Amino acid sequence: MSTPQNRREDPSLLASVADGDRGALRTLYERHAPWLTLRLKRRCADPGIVEEVVQDTFVAVWKGARRYRGQGEVAAWIWGIGIRRLIDRLRARPLPIPSALDRGGIVISAEEEVLLSVEHGDLGMALDRLSPELRAVMQATALDGLTTREAAKLLGIPQGTVKTRLMRARHELREALA
Q: Which residues bind other proteins (CB under 8 A)?
A: 10, 22, 25-26, 29-35, 37-39, 41-42, 51, 54-55, 58-59, 62, 73, 75-76, 79, 103-107, 110, 112, 115-116, 118-119, 123-124, 127-128, 135, 139, 143
> Closer CB to other proteins, residue 45 or residue 158?
45
Identify which of residues 58 and 68 has a Cβ nearer to other proteins in the complex.
58
For residue 156, the minimal CB distance to other proteins (Å) is 20
Q: Which is nearer to other proteins, 23 or 159 (CB)?
A: 23
Closest CA to 74 of 145, 118, 14: 14
**CB closer to other proteins, 10 vs 150:** 10
CA dist 16 → 3, 113, 138, 173 (Å): 15, 35, 36, 45
Q: How far is the CB of 35 from other proteins (least distance, A)?
A: 5
- Report how far residue 97's alpha carbon sits from residue 104's, in angstroms, rounded to the nearest whole number: 9
- Rounded CA separation 114/9 (Å): 28
Work out how close the CB of 127 gets to other proteins at its nearest, in angstroms, rounded to a whole number: 5
Q: How far apart are CA 16 and CA 83, in angstroms?
A: 24
Instruction: Choose between 106 and 152: whose C-beta lies nearer to other proteins.
Output: 106
State the minimum distance, in angstroms, from the CB of residue 54 to other proteins.
6
Spatial distance between the Cα atoms of 32 and 166, rounded to a whole number of angstroms: 30
Distance in Å, CB of 84 to other proteins, minimum: 16
